[in-house]
Chain A
Amino acid sequence: MYRAKVLIKRRPTILDPQGKAVEIGAHNLGLSNIRNTRIDKYIQFDIDTPDKSSAEKEVNDYCSKLLANPIMEDFEFNLSEWTPPEEKIK
Chain B
Amino acid sequence: MSKPKFGVVVFPGSNCDHDTYYALKKLFNYDVNFLWHKDIDLKESDVIILPGGFSYGDYLRTGAIAKFSPIMNEVINFANKGGYVFGICNGFQILLETGLLPGVMLRNISLQFVCKDVYLLIENKKTVFTDGIQKEKSVLKIPIAHGEGNYFADEKTLNQLIENDQIVFKYSSKDGELNDESNPNGSVMNIAGIINKKGNVFGMMPHPERSSDTVLGKTDGSLIFNALANNILN
Give chain B nearest CB distance to A57 CB in angstroms: 19
Judged by a CB distance under 8 angstroms, whether B76 is at the interface is: no
Once the chains bind, are B68 and A66 in contact (CB under 8 Å)? Answer: yes
**A12 CB–B CB distance under 8 Å:** no
Cβ contact within 8 Å between B152 and A66: no
Q: Which of A13-21, A27-35, A76-84 sits within the interface?
A: A13-21
Question: Which among A13, A18, A67, A71 is the interface contact of B111 at CB below 8 angstroms?
Answer: A18
Contact of A69 among B97, B153, B186 (CB under 8 A): B97
Interface contact A71-B107, CB-CB below 8 Å: no
Known: A15-B152, A17-B186, A21-B111. A66 touches B60 (CB 8 A): yes
Residue B227 at the A interface, CB < 8 A?
no
Interface residues of B in 65-105 (CB under 8 A from A): 65, 68, 97, 103-104
| Closest CB in chain B relative to A44 CB, distance in Å | 14
Contact A15 B68 (CB under 8 A): no
Nearest-neighbour CB distance to chain A for B150, whole angstroms, equals: 8
User: Which residues of chain A come closer than 8 Å to B68, judged between CB atoms?
Assistant: 66
Q: How many A-B residue pairs have CB under 8 A?
A: 35
Interface of B is mostly: loop
Given the known interface contacts A71-B103, A72-B152, the answer about A17 and B108 at a Cβ–Cβ threshold of 8 Å is yes
Contact with B along A1-26 (1 / 0, CB 8 A): 00000000000011101100100000
Q: Which residues of B contact A18 (CB under 8 A)?
A: 107, 111
Compute how far the CA of A13 lies from the CA of B186 in the bound complex, rounded to whole angstroms: 15
Distance between B84 CB and nearest chain A CB, rounded to angstroms: 24
List the A side residues contacting B104 at CB < 8 Å: 69, 71-72
Cβ 8 A contact of A15, one of B61, B103, B106: B106
- B107's partner among A13, A17, A66, A69 (CB-CB below 8 A) is A17
Contact call A15/B109, Cβ cutoff below 8 A: yes
Which positions in B face A, CB cutoff 8 Å? 60-61, 64-65, 68, 97, 103-104, 106-111, 150, 152-154, 186
Contacts A17-B108, A69-B61, A71-B103 aside, 17 further interface pairs with beta carbons under 8 A come to: A15-B109, A15-B152, A15-B186, A17-B106, A17-B109, A17-B111, A17-B150, A18-B111, A21-B111, A66-B64, A66-B65, A66-B68, A69-B97, A69-B104, A71-B104, A71-B154, A72-B104
Q: Which 6 A-B pairs have the closest CB atoms?
A: A72-B104, A17-B107, A71-B104, A17-B109, A17-B111, A21-B111
User: A interface vs B, CB < 8 Å?
Assistant: 13-15, 17-18, 21, 66-67, 69, 71-72
17 contacts between A and B (CB under 8 A): A14-B106, A14-B152, A17-B106, A17-B108, A17-B110, A17-B111, A17-B150, A18-B107, A18-B111, A21-B111, A66-B64, A67-B60, A69-B61, A69-B64, A69-B97, A72-B106, A72-B152
